[in-house]
Chain A
Amino acid sequence: MTPRAPTRRWCALPAMLLAVMFAWSALAAAQDPPGDAPSAAAAPAASPVVADPVAGPVAAPPAAPGPAVRGPQRAGLQSYSVSIQVTFSGSPEWTPEVRRGLLRDLREQIGSAAGPLWEPLAIKEAARGLVLSPIPEEGRALEAWRTALESRPEDKVFLAALHIAGGECTLRAGEWDRSSATLGSWSTRAVTDSRLAAAALTTMLAEAFRPLAVIRKVEGAEAELEVQGGELIPSDSRFLAVPETTVFIPFQRMLNREREVVRRLVVPWTYLSVESRDRSLVMSRIASAFGAPLVPGRRRTELRAILARPSLAGTRLRIVPYGNPGNPVVGARVDVLGGNPERRDASASASSPSAPAPAPVVVTTDRLGRIDLARDPDQTLKWVQVHSGSILLARVPVVPGIVPELLLEVPDDSARLTVEGELSILEGELIAAVGQREVFMARAKQLARLDKWDEIESLTNRVMDLPTIADFDERVEAVRVRGIQSARDRQDRLAEARINKLVTTFRNLVRDHLDPEKIAGFKDEMAELKRAK
């Protein structure tokens, strides 16, 4: 009867099995090498395969490769040390022969496809009895294995799970990146014949592979990257280090004096959109919610980037006010754009005014402050603009499909909105007063031709009785004081400034339309007409 509680029945067992397996295999793993050398821990082994998949890890824990030191090398020339852990479910179809055959096929296919890019390459059977469950649950399980994975020496650890039931073989695969200490997206595929599993898994691993890059230079809104292994061309284009159009996620690695990674910091709401590439060198444009998100050249700080591989159907963006996540921004207008709105504006005005940019998709946040952003294969990077009335609260780039949910904090605009509402009422009264004044004056001028001076006097009195600038000023000031106080209570100086601007604009409006000289002129005109009669 609980609608929100997800089912957890099938996720615990495989998660535990896999966790135990990785924890156990990680006991002998080497420590994270100095960040200066991304693959330093992975020795350039003579053979890409370091474990016999047939013998498998069942009999004995897999021997983690020992720490090795590679000399300083350009990132573009550095390969990735890769470990692929394959888990078979407990289905009787997975006989030892079948498992051995599949691992052999996988080794052959990946070895020939990735070539020198993935060296050394270790493929081994990790454990048995994995019962597959939905991907989000796998993701949660993988998060639990993070400690074990962080101790792995390889640049990349691919986790693969195979299950067979009813003649259909289901494959799942995901990637762990040591440099960024992040898990990639988890993908699933099904094949009807287990003999096709190796080929399908090869494709899946190629799709899960997230190349790394070193941010060499940052100039304004552009950044130059050098992709690791970018010079090592694989024979299979699926394993290309950098696909044609893609986005990198930048992150920083903080090092200690020993050049060990102390912590990693993902630069929030910032992406590097690839614009051109020359082998391992990539020119990218910085898409960020901030003015200067990447500052290179600091000591003991490395700027890195990892390829964004969106694989989920989309990302749910939850928008909340700063410091008040329990009170989400509900009913806010959100524009979702395909490109940077600032660049769009510039290009639309300069280059091709006749071809306007596509209109943004306008959505509204729901009662929990959420919007759903769908993954778009053609447009990986999206820009999201959050509005509150005429005010832009936030403009951030998002790559939908990488994570299931993102939290976006925006300024609390309620104080300004309250003032705007009050001023809107006053504006209505102002328009009514101006309209009445014009009607009375026009009517009086008509009556002047008919010599009905009593009625004219009555109309003149009604004009004089209409609200004046002072009346409006008094009420506007009351609104302003309340709004400013509310903003100050929240220590929101931006809201304070916006309220002052709103009030000033409205006061100018009042002065423009309730000019007392106009009334004086009207009275003089009437007096003149009366004298002339």
Chain B
Amino acid sequence: MTSAPRRTCFGSDRRREAFHGGAFLLVLLLGMGVGRTSFAQPAPAAQAPPAAQAPAADPAAAAPQPAPVESIESLPQLTTIPLPTAEQFLTEPPHDWIVLTGDYVLVVEPVVPRPDTLAKIDRAYNDLLRLKPTTPPEEQEDLQARIDEQKFLAVILPGESELPEYRIPIKMVKQVLHHEDLVLRRIDQLIEANDIDLAMELQILMERRYGHWIGVGDRHNKLVLADARLRLQAMQFEAAFMLAEELFRRDSQLPGLSELIESAGGPWAERAWGDGNIPNVQHVYRRIRAMRPESAAASGIADRLAGEARRILAEADQAAAKGDVQTAAIRAEAAAAVWPELPELKARHRAHLLRYPRLHVGTVRTTDAGGRTPRLVLSRADLREQSLRPAPLFHPERVQGGLVSYRTRYFNDWEPEDLGRRMLLTLRTHAQPWEMQGPLSAESCGEALLARLDSAVPSFDERLATYIDSVRVQTPYSLTIEFRRVPARIEPVLARIAVGEPATPSAEDDGSTARQPASHDDGAGGFTVRETTDASVSYRRWRPEPGGQPRYRTAEVIEHLYDSPDRVYRALLAGEVSLVPDLPAWFARELQAIPETTREFHVRPLALPLTHFLQFNPRSIPLRNRELRRALASAIPREAILSDVLLRGPQRQLGRVSRTPFPEPLSIARGDFPPLEYDVPTAIAMSLAAAHQLGNGTELPVLRLVAPGEQVERAACEALVRAWKRVGIQVEIVSGDGPPAPTEWDILYRAAVLTEPTIDLWPLVTASPVARIGDLDHLPAWLRHDLIELDRITDSSRANEFARGVLRKILADCAVIPLWETDSFLVVRKTVRDLPAVPMHVYDSLDRWTIEPFYRTELP
């Protein structure tokens, strides 16, 4: 490290000496008048300043006027003058070396013409001579002057301006060593010294400044090759291979390249194999084959992968022979992942996967284990997991006439009697083999209902207990519900009642064998969590399909976790997953514009869009103030946030500003609700009024906004906070991801699908998942009265009309602030079939889906 500056100093001194020597020599040469002609032509520079006027590069050297040098011997010789260091090349101006007769070297500013200076001057001299016979006499003098000009090499000494210029007779110049050649010489020396980094720095300099200089390109190849070899020595195979690819792009037939590819690719693949990273092995193979299809390394990798795939496939066959269809399917997928080019793979993979179809789902969020504890708000991953659980007594089927219609998996008939005061429910006695849930007995159904009528148990449903007076089991498959108060619609009320939650499978139960529901698992089913890792969660059908079916339906769902929607999409294209749910609206729009997407995938909108709205904590003292809520509502630039954050574009096909928390396809959202205007003056006025009423002068307390974990919603929350800050309302964001759920909060950002106005209106203003009288305490008496009255109405159409009126009051009271609604999509590969045309949720009727086996044959 200390030698470099020393060398530099030394080099500078030597160059300075050469410069002064050159200056004195020029004076001498001009005096002698040597040249092609007998007399030296007076150079313009020589006429003006004598040698004493030659500027010195170093002021210290310029101060005392040096005495003229008597001879050329004072110049350094070519064998002794040191080559400038890399640092000098990088930092100092370029200089050429003029090698004079006797190998004396004069350092000058870069000469012209270049390159090949002497040959070009000679050619010019000869060309002028050939013009002499044809030149008119009156121009002869001028021509002669030009011919004489070519007898000298004009040079500028370092440190001087272009004038004065000195001339050296060509006859005295043995060789011109250009600056570029000197740099290349230094690069060669650095390569020999294995100083690749410095050499590359010089090389980059050369390519940037003198890219077309002869030898620059070759020097690059040489440098990269040397670098690759060094990396090979250091066992950096991937880096060496990348350098080989660079060389291949520059010169596919470069000598030594094939050896480099073999020696880098083979060990790299070997190392990946040792790490168990099969995709990486495939990746190496593909890259080797792209350069050298006949490569021995590539062939070795292919043979090894094929062997491994055959071994795994044999395991799959063995498992299938034992009846372990799940293991067989998993091993078949593993074999396809190892070597998709295996000839016998396709048929056997298909056989195993048809028997045990597995659905791979890509998502940016899965339900973590902690997420199964109570949360303030369920994430979309939580909701997906909920939809995999056993179906409730009724579940939404479609939207019809502005209302959600329901269907059931359990009942054949549910007939009201005695003007609706009594309902006879007749249960199905059998379930189809493909159904994820078995039949439900009247006793279990009755128990599920009674469990919600007992105020002593946590599942107590206050609203249901008001409706139902008694439950009577008539026969093993029929029961009667006596209503104390007839609900407007019974289906939405019973749609909240889940049945048949199976017991959690034990750790040693790998699900390899078909299981029949025990008597206590009456009606059990759904998909239960099989395995949870950092990268995925898998759910398995709790009630497996029996053997001997002509066609098998989805048996297992594996949700793979990715870090961004882009990565999910790449996984979809790569064949890692076949379904992508809950895509952001802007991303879905971009997907629809890609022809490959629509050719290979369905982009299906869900029946109901996602509505975004703000709820308030009933226990938040500041937000009991209506003026503050109104200030919050008026300060939100809905259009701008929708365009900038949620849609990322001005198009409104996939999202719109909403006037209610209910999605537009529902009739309640089509009422005459006044729009919530972005009105800064009102927001400021209201915030000042609120601050005054809260007794804080002009200061408002800092509010806490609970933001969901989803990226888009979180970004929207940040935009809201910025908007509120503009009108003087300070809000800080807290994560609603939990657990534990945040306890101290004021505002809750929710993105949800509310389906039933008569049921969902109450929890909307109480920020509670269930309707409890005690939660209404904070509300004004008139609103409390209206909500209670809504529960009492027995006529469906009147209930909806009344709900619309209550909603109008709730919105006027700013008890809830609707924001916008965005369409929800799922992208599914066309190999997944039998989905509902317009699904209500991501896994709608999952147990009916069939999946055509698929694996991507392209290597990564």
Listed in ascending order, the chain A residues whose CB lies under 8 Å from chain B are 1-5, 327, 330-331, 333, 364-368, 387-390, 413-414, 417-418, 420-422, 424-425, 428-429, 431-432, 434-436, 438-440, 443
Contact = CB atoms under 8 A, between A and B. Distances in A.
Contacts of B784: 331
A364 B785 CA distance: 13
Interface string B661-674: 00000000000000
A432 B774 contact: no
Nearest to A326: B485
Contacts of B782: 389, 417-418, 420-421, 424
Best-buried of B453, B685, B783, B792 by chain A (most CB within 10 Å): B685
A434 to B, nearest CB: 8
Best-buried of A327, A330, A390, A435 by chain B (most CB within 10 Å): A435
Given A3-B453, A3-B454, A331 B776 contact: yes
B433 to A, nearest CB: 31
A526 to B, nearest CB: 17
B659 interface: no
A1 B441 CA distance: 14
Contact of B473 (A1, A388, A425, A435): A1
B626 A436 contact: no
B471 A2 contact: yes
Task: List the 8 closest pairs (A to B, CB-CB), nearest first.
Answer: A435-B685, A389-B781, A421-B782, A425-B812, A367-B466, A439-B681, A2-B470, A417-B785
Given A367-B463, A368-B466, A327 B685 contact: no
Contact of B450 (A3, A327, A425): A3
A191 B387 CA distance: 57
Contacts of B682: 432, 435-436, 439
B472 interface: yes
A367 B689 contact: no
Nearest to A425: B812
A366 B771 CA distance: 12
A480 to B, nearest CB: 15
A2 B773 contact: no
Given A1-B479, A389-B781, 20 more contacts: A1-B446, A1-B473, A2-B472, A3-B471, A4-B470, A330-B788, A364-B776, A366-B462, A367-B465, A367-B466, A368-B466, A388-B785, A413-B785, A417-B786, A424-B813, A428-B630, A428-B813, A431-B626, A432-B685, A435-B688
A435 B627 CA distance: 10
B686 interface: yes
A3 to B, nearest CB: 5
A421 B681 contact: no
Interface in B461-478: 462-463, 465-466, 469-473
B684 interface: yes
Contacts of B472: 1-2
Nearest to A366: B773
Contacts of A327: 792
21 contacts: A1-B446, A1-B450, A1-B472, A3-B450, A4-B470, A5-B470, A331-B773, A331-B785, A389-B781, A414-B785, A414-B789, A418-B785, A421-B780, A421-B782, A421-B809, A428-B626, A428-B813, A431-B630, A432-B630, A435-B686, A436-B685
A414 B793 CA distance: 14
Best-buried of A365, A388, A432 by chain B (most CB within 10 Å): A432
Contacts of A387: 781
Contact of A3 (B470, B686, B813): B470
Interface residues of B, number: 44
Contacts of A365: 773
A364 B774 contact: yes
Contact of B783 (A4, A5, A421, A435): A421
B781 A439 contact: no
Given A4-B470, A331-B788, A439-B684, A424 B446 contact: no
A429 B814 CA distance: 11
Contacts of A440: 681
A394 to B, nearest CB: 15
A418 B630 CA distance: 22
Nearest to B781: A389
Interface of B: 446, 450, 453-454, 462-463, 465-466, 469-473, 479, 626-627, 630, 679, 681-682, 684-686, 688-689, 773-774, 776-777, 780-786, 788-789, 791-792, 809, 812-814
A388 B809 CA distance: 18
B681 A443 contact: yes
Nearest to A4: B470
Nearest to B450: A3
A3 B786 CA distance: 29
Contact of A431 (B466, B627, B781): B627
A431 B686 contact: yes
Nearest to B812: A425
A417 B789 CA distance: 11
B685 A439 contact: yes
B679 to A, nearest CB: 8
A390 B780 CA distance: 10
Contacts of A2: 470-472
A443 B684 CA distance: 12
A388 B785 CA distance: 9
A422 B780 CA distance: 12
A264 B682 CA distance: 66
Contact of A367 (B454, B462, B813): B462
A158 B21 CA distance: 143
B450 A367 contact: no
Contacts of B809: 421-422, 424-425
Contact of B777 (A1, A333, A389, A414): A333
Contacts of B781: 387-390, 417, 420
Contacts of A424: 780, 782, 809, 813
Given A1-B446, A367-B466, A436 B812 contact: no
B681 A436 contact: yes
A366 B484 CA distance: 15
Best-buried of B469, B479, B630, B782 by chain A (most CB within 10 Å): B782
Best-buried of B688, B781, B784 by chain A (most CB within 10 Å): B781
B813 A425 contact: yes
A253 B463 CA distance: 45
B632 to A, nearest CB: 13
A435 B792 CA distance: 38
A1 B451 CA distance: 11
Contacts of B627: 431, 435
Given A1-B446, A417-B782, A420-B782, A435 B689 contact: yes
A425 B454 CA distance: 38
A437 to B, nearest CB: 8
A1 B689 contact: no
A366 B791 CA distance: 13
A135 B791 CA distance: 36
Given A2-B470, A3-B453, A431-B686, A364 B773 contact: yes
Nearest to A418: B782
Contacts of A436: 679, 681-682, 685
Nearest to A390: B781
Contacts of A422: 809
Contacts of B450: 1, 3
A387 to B, nearest CB: 8
A425 B473 CA distance: 48
A418 B681 CA distance: 31
Contacts of B469: 4
A390 B450 CA distance: 38
B786 A421 contact: yes
Contact of B773 (A330, A418, A438): A330
Nearest to B681: A439
Contacts of B776: 331, 364
A327 B793 CA distance: 11
A519 B737 CA distance: 51
Nearest to B453: A3
Contacts of A420: 780-782
A387 B463 CA distance: 22
